[in-house]
């Protein structure tokens, strides 16, 4: 009898142990499944619409070095786990057209130039031999904090550049974008399509936030040719003025481009310009004596690429504007002459003297609706001697500080799960109910065994 009871007790204990092991394994599997649930992929483009190769990066200087580059600026509302493109088109080694592309992520710092002069938060070079499906896709070992970033893509090297007949290239895909440039701003070569991956955060519905300093939403219209290029007559830029027509109601003049602006194959990357925009006062000198509406600079302009000046929502409806472009160093830069069409809409100046010809030029407008009253420097209220502090109120003061909450800790990044395996198991969730049931079962069995043993002893006595 004792032998039988011992065997039964061993079987029951083994079954209980197996039950606890299975329950713990189930808890482990549940935790692993949650890794993917903690990441949300947000596309800057319409996934249902097709995309095609369009933005070429193989721009070469006279020494054969590729300097093709493009970037995008975005502001994410949650920690950034990854970034990528749905596809990258590239040449193949058999055609001597394969290439290497550098991908860099910079934390935003004031403006593009200051940002790009800093140290990248992420950088990786990728060699491409043919079209790459679902690449490149970069997953960060440690999530980047929420905030504004600049993502730059540059074709830096190409195999056999010095071999005759070698034409390396890489091409970024473009498609139908879902966001205006209030949320995503591209370099003049863009836009290209991309996606970000963020930690899923409770209460966040849109992981692309407005960019710093962006105002009203702009529905940017397609760029249109104002004056077509006529022949190959170039004019250098020193102090070049453009007077715009009055911007129509409900619109802004979003950008102006000098078509295929030349640098006369300047071998040094110093074809730079600055620009300032004023309200047109009917006279050049009176206009530049007024307030600067907006300004900016373009550095290292590439020969025969469009010289594009973007103004955002600053050049608003109801006004004509004077745009003054000034060469800012010794690097040559200019514009090609356009087909002259007498117009009372656009006027052009060199050193304040009106020209009798026009540049090859394009412009883009944006729809904004009602922007409200125009900003003014006039005081909004009469001066007063009253103190600036508010009068005391009977409102009850806050007695408790708000509870500080934080985003959930990352549980994995899809490709770097090893780091989570070193976590202390004391921090893992353990199923309580199976443990209680197993303990109760063991107690009942133990009680039955004790009773049977006592009965067996009585029977012998």
| Exposure class string for 238-251: b at 16+ Cβ within 10 A, else e | eebbbbbbebeeeb
Provide the token pair at 16: 């209980």
Q: Which residue has the higher pLDDT, 396 or 412?
A: 396
Closest CA to 316 of 260, 378, 247: 247
Res 125 pLDDT > 90: yes
Dump pLDDT digits (tens) for 433-452: 454 455 555 555 555 555 55
Q: How far is it, in rounded angstroms, from Cα 143 to Cα 198? A: 8
Highest mean pLDDT among 114-118, 269-273, 310-314 belongs to 114-118
Sorting pLDDT into bands at 50, 70 and 90, what band is 392? very low
Res 316 pLDDT > 70: yes
The reported pLDDT for the residue numbered 425 is 33
CB distance 282 to 291 below 8 Å? no
Q: How many CB atoms lie within 10 A of CB 135?
A: 14
**Cα-based torsion angle of the residue sequence 157, 162, 166, 169 in order, rounded to the nearest 10 degrees:** 20
User: At a CB cut-off of 8 Å and minimum separation 6, what does 173 contact?
Assistant: 51, 52, 53, 54, 55, 85, 86, 87, 88, 89, 192, 193
Dump pLDDT digits (tens) for 323-339: 999 998 888 999 999 98
Phi then psi dihedrals of residue 434, to 5 deg: -60, -35
Res 35 pLDDT > 70: no
Least confident of 100-114, 149-163, 208-222, 445-459: 445-459
The reported pLDDT for the residue numbered 344 is 66
Sorting pLDDT into bands at 50, 70 and 90, what band is 241? very high
* Stretch 300-304: mean pLDDT: 83
The reported pLDDT for the residue numbered 402 is 36
Res 397 pLDDT > 60: no
* Stretch 336-357: mean pLDDT: 88
Closest CA to 258 of 226, 233, 287: 226
Q: Which residue has the higher pLDDT, 244 or 16?
A: 244
The reported pLDDT for the residue numbered 198 is 96
Q: Which residue has the higher pLDDT, 205 or 412?
A: 205
Q: How many CB atoms lie within 10 A of CB 359?
A: 26
Q: Which residue has the higher pLDDT, 216 or 318?
A: 318
* Stretch 293-301: mean pLDDT: 88
Considering just the CA atoms, what is the radius of gyration of the chain in Å?
33
Side-chain-side CA neighbours of 155 within 13 Å: the count stands at: 29
Res 157 pLDDT > 60: yes
* Stretch 63-67: mean pLDDT: 67
**Average pLDDT over the chain, rounded to an integer:** 77
The reported pLDDT for the residue numbered 269 is 64
DSSP state of 312: T
Dump pLDDT digits (tens) for 196-238: 999 999 999 899 999 988 877 888 888 899 999 988 889 999 9
Residues in the chain: 461
Dihedral sign (CA 80, 82, 87, 93): positive
Res 459 pLDDT > 90: no
Nearest 5°: CA angle at 188, between 365 and 195?
Answer: 100
Q: How many CB atoms lie within 10 A of CB 319?
A: 14
* Stretch 131-137: mean pLDDT: 85
Res 454 pLDDT > 80: no
Least confident of 27-31, 282-286, 338-342: 27-31
CB distance 236 to 132 below 8 Å? no
The CA-to-CA distance between both ends of the chain, in Å, stands at: 15
User: At a CB cut-off of 8 Å and minimum separation 6, what does 360 contact?
Assistant: 227, 228, 229, 230, 258, 259, 260, 335, 336, 337, 338
Res 166 pLDDT > 60: yes
Res 159 pLDDT > 60: no
């Amino acid at each position: 009898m004792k032998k039988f009871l011992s065997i039964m007790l061993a079987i029951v204990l083994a079954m209980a142990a197996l039950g606890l092991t299975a329950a713990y394994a189930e808890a482990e599997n549940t935790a692993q499944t949650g890794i993917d649930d903690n990441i949300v992929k947000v596309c800057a483009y319409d996934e249902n619409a097709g995309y095609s190769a369009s933005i070429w990066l193989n721009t070469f200087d006279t020494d054969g070095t590729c300097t093709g580059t493009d970037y995008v600026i975005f502001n994410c509302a949650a920690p950034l786990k990854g970034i990528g493109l749905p596809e990258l088109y590239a040449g193949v080694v058999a055609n001597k057209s394969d290439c290497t592309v550098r991908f860099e992520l910079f934390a935003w710092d004031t403006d593009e130039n200051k940002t790009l002069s800093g140290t990248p938060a992420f950088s990786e070079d990728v060699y491409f031999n043919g079209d790459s499906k679902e690449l490149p896709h970069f997953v960060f070992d440690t999530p980047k904090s929420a905030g504004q970033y600049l993502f730059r893509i540059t074709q830096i090297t190409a195999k056999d550049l010095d071999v005759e007949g070698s034409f390396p290239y890489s091409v970024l895909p473009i498609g139908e974008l879902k966001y205006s440039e209030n949320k995503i701003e591209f370099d003049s070569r863009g836009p290209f399509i991309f996606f970000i991956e963020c930690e899923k955060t409770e209460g966040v519905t849109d992981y692309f936030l407005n960019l710093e300093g962006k105002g009203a939403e702009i529905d940017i219209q397609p760029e249109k040719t104002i004056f077509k290029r006529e022949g190959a007559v170039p004019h250098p830029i020193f102090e070049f003025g453009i007077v715009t027509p009055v911007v129509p109601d409900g619109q802004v003049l979003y950008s102006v481009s000098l078509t295929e602006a030349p640098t006369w194959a300047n071998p040094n990357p110093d074809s730079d310009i600055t620009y300032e925009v004023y309200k047109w006062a009917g006279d050049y000198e009176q206009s530049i004596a007024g307030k600067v509406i907006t300004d900016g600079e373009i550095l290292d302009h590439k020969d025969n690429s469009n010289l594009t000046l973007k103004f955002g929502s600053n050049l608003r409806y109801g006004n004509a504007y004077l745009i003054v472009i000034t060469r800012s160093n010794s690097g040559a830069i200019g514009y090609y002459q356009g087909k002259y069409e007498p117009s009372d809409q656009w006027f052009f100046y060199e050193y304040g003297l009106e020209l009798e010809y026009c540049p090859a030029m394009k412009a883009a407008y944006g729809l904004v609706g009602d922007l409200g009253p125009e900003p003014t420097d006039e005081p909004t209220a009469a001066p007063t001697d009253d103190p600036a502090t508010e009068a005391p109120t009977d409102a009850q003061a806050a007695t408790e500080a708000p509870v500080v909450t934080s985003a959930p800790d990352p549980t994995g990044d899809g490709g770097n799960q090893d780091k989570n395996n070193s976590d202390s198991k004391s921090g893992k969730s353990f199923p309580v109910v199976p443990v209680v049931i197993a303990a109760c079962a063991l107690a009942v069995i133990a009680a039955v065994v004790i009773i049977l043993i006592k009965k067996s002893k009585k029977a012998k006595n």
